[in-house]
Amino acid sequence: MPKKISRREFVQKTIEIGLAVTAGHTLFPPLLRSSNPASAKEAVNLAVVSGNEYARSTAKAVEILGGIEKFVPRKARVALLPNVQRSNPGTFTNPEIVRAVIRLSKQAGASEVNLLSWLAMKNWESTGLAKVAAEEGANLKLFERDEANFKPVPIPAGKTLKEARILSEFYNHDVFINMPITKDHAGNRFTGTMKNLMGLNSPANNRTFHKENWETDAGAIDHLDQCIADLNTVLKPTLCIVDATEFIVTNGPMGPGELLKPHKVIAGVDRVAVDSFCASLWGLKGEEILHIRHGFEHKLGEVNLQNVKMREITL
């Protein structure tokens, strides 16, 4: 069952904003309106937008891919998965990027926008994402780590992981937007779209990804990476929007660590290509990251960026 949120102010604010949306008031500022979506002839697989206005960059990246309506049908129930693992700088998805995606989804006519997690409310409050959810009329659905809240899902193509346990509430949605921050990781060096899907998998099942010495032993690291790739064969995001505005490149994934600040937002459907590009931001190649390589082997996407149609702009 969802974890009950006792903070009256948070709940009341959510109700008030939800009523405002129902009454027809717009919460979508002009800078986020998608007025010139890409045509089919200009189809782009990967959109990269640089700039200091992160909400605007997010909206522009989605516009480059064809506009939010390409991904969110009217009346759709939309699930969002930001990273709220820690609140150290450069370790969690920027609140303004999440705000923009909530607003875009509502603009497209989504019936619900829900942020799903088995992480505690303190994670959402400390990162500022609980406040954004309340302000934008999105539902923050938090679940206990009880295995009864997770659905067993066989992984026919899994080379290492044969069964996942996915948050059952996830399957009550029509659209899934994956919203990680890219950053360093202690074991496999990189966190991005593919690894973020562990946020839908049960903590107990996630523990099987980690063998002894998973930070240093090559075999244990490969086991972790193969499990990540295997998990991705049974979960497919409708769209990935990645925070690469500022992120840690050391002491990941929790931080604190050395910050890199490219001020970029990346959007795409191809997880392997998106992660390969994000890895390149600090001098890594996609094929050097084992779970990206394994994702390519699973035919989840393109690892060679030369084969990806990409558009990169600065606002």
For 200, the token pair is 């839908």
Q: Looking at the domain 48-314, which fold is it?
A: Rossmann fold (3.40.50)
Confidence of residue 216 (pLDDT cuts 50, 70, 90): confident
Q: Backbone phi, then psi, for 261, in 5-degree steps?
A: -125, 75
pLDDT at 251 (0 to 100) = 86
pLDDT band at residue 218 under the 50/70/90 scheme:
confident
Segment 237-248, tens digit of pLDDT: 999 999 999 999
Question: Would you state the structure tokens that stand for residue 48, as one six-digit string?
Answer: 């990269």
Residue 42 pLDDT: 60
Q: What is the rounded average pLDDT of the residues 279-304?
A: 95
Predicted local confidence at residue 101, as pLDDT: 98
Paired with 204 in beta bridges are: none
Sign of CA dihedral 245, 246, 248, 254: negative
DSSP 6: -
Tokens of 4: 């009950």
pLDDT at 21: 36
Is residue 174 within 8 A of residue 165, CB to CB? The reply is: no
Share of the chain above pLDDT 90, in %: 78
What's the mean pLDDT in 293-315? 96
Tell me if the pTM is above 0.85: yes
Mean pLDDT of the region 85-98:
95
Which sequence spans correspond to the domains of the chain? 48-314
The pLDDT tens digits of the residues spanning 116-125 come to 999 999 999 9
Residue 24 has pLDDT above 80, yes or no: no
Which pLDDT tens digit goes with each residue over 145-203? 999 999 999 999 999 999 999 999 999 999 999 999 999 888 778 999 999 999 999 99
Q: Is the pLDDT of residue 25 over 70?
A: no
At residue 237, φ and ψ (nearest 5 deg) are -65, 145
Inter-axis angle of helices 8-22 and 129-136, to 10 degrees? 40
